[in-house]
C-alpha cells in the first residue's frame, strides 16, 4: 500500500481567490467643514492620553510664525495653533516634519507632551495619529526630550541620510 502523504495543491495566481482589499481607515475629521473657518488647516493631530486633539495649520506664503499667536481660525490669541512651516510639505513625506505648539499652563496645545517625562506614561501612550483628508497616518513615539529653540529644519539637512542618522542617534 502506498503510505505517502496525499499530494498538496498549491494555490496559484490563477486558482487563488482574489484577496479582498482592506477597507480604507475612516478619517473622522470633516475637512470640508474645517476649511470653512480654518483654511490653512491641512491635517489634524491626536495623541491618546493627552488633550492634544487639534488641527494642524501651515501658511503657504508669508509669515511662517503666524500661527504662533493665532488660532487655526486666524483669530489672534496667545495660545496660537499647532502648525508647521512651509519648509515641510503638507503630506508628511519629509524625513523630518516639525510641528510647533505652545506649552500652555492650562494644559492646552502641546503642554501635555510633558506627560512623556513619566516613563510609565511614555510606555502606555506611544501612538500619534495624523489625519489627512484622504488617509490616517500612525506614528510611534520613540523619544521625548526637552530642547531649545534651535531651528531644526534650517540648521540640519535631513535629506542627507548621514545627518538624519546622527540626529536620531543624538536623541536616542
**The C-alpha cell that represents 52 in the structure block:** 492634544
Nearest residue to 95 (alpha-carbon basis) of 171, 55, 152, 146: 152
Q: Are 52 and 104 in contact (CB under 8 A)?
A: no
- Rounded CA-CA distance 110/39 in Å is 22
Give pLDDT tens digits for 81-123: 999 999 999 999 999 999 999 999 999 999 999 999 999 999 9
- Alpha-carbon distance 83 to 65, whole Å? 9
pLDDT tens-digit map of 132-151: 999 999 999 998 888 877 78
Q: Which of 71, 79, 146, 77 is nearest to 114 (CA)?
A: 146
**C-alpha cell of residue 118:** 513619566
pLDDT of residue 7: 44
pLDDT band of 6, cuts 50, 70, 90: very low
Quick check: 18 pLDDT over 60? no
Reply yes or no on whether the pLDDT at 80 is more than 80: yes
For residue 56, pLDDT beyond 60: yes
**Segment holding 161, helix H or strand E:** helix 161-171
Per the CB < 8 A criterion, the answer to whether 42 and 56 are in contact is: yes
pLDDT over threshold 60, residue 36: yes
The whole-number average pLDDT for the span 1-13 is 43
Q: Which residues contact 144 (CB under 8 A, 6 or more apart)?
A: 113, 116, 117, 122
pLDDT of amino acid 4 = 44
Q: In the predicted model, what is the mean pLDDT of residues 9-16?
A: 44
State the pLDDT confidence band at 38, using cuts at 50, 70 and 90.
Answer: very high
Q: By percentage, how much of the chain surpasses pLDDT 90?
A: 72
Q: Is residue 115 a contact partner of residue 126, using CB atoms and an 8 Å limit? A: no
Over residues 29-39, the mean pLDDT reads: 98
Alpha-carbon distance of 8 to 26, in angstroms, equals 40
Q: Is the pLDDT of residue 41 over 80?
A: yes
pLDDT score of 16: 52
Amino acid at each position: 500500500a502506498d503510505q505517502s502523504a496525499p499530494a498538496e495543491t498549491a494555490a496559484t495566481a490563477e486558482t487563488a481567490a482574489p484577496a479582498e482589499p482592506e477597507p480604507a481607515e475612516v478619517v473622522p475629521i470633516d475637512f470640508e467643514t474645517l476649511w470653512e473657518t480654518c483654511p490653512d488647516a491641512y491635517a489634524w493631530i491626536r495623541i491618546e492620553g493627552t488633550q492634544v486633539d487639534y488641527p494642524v495649520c501651515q501658511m503657504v506664503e508669508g509669515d511662517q510664525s503666524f500661527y504662533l499667536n493665532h488660532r487655526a481660525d486666524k483669530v489672534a490669541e496667545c495660545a496660537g495653533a499647532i502648525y508647521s512651516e512651509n519648509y515641510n510639505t503638507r503630506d508628511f513625506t519629509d524625513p523630518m516634519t516639525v510641528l510647533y505648539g505652545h506649552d500652555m499652563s492650562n494644559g492646552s496645545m502641546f503642554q501635555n507632551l510633558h506627560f512623556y517625562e513619566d516613563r510609565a506614561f511614555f510606555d502606555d501612550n506611544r501612538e500619534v495619529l495624523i489625519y489627512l483628508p484622504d488617509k490616517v497616518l500612525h506614528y510611534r513615539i520613540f523619544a521625548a526630550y526637552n530642547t531649545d529653540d534651535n531651528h531644526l529644519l534650517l540648521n540640519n539637512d535631513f535629506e542627507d541620510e548621514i545627518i538624519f542618522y546622527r540626529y536620531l542617534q543624538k536623541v536616542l
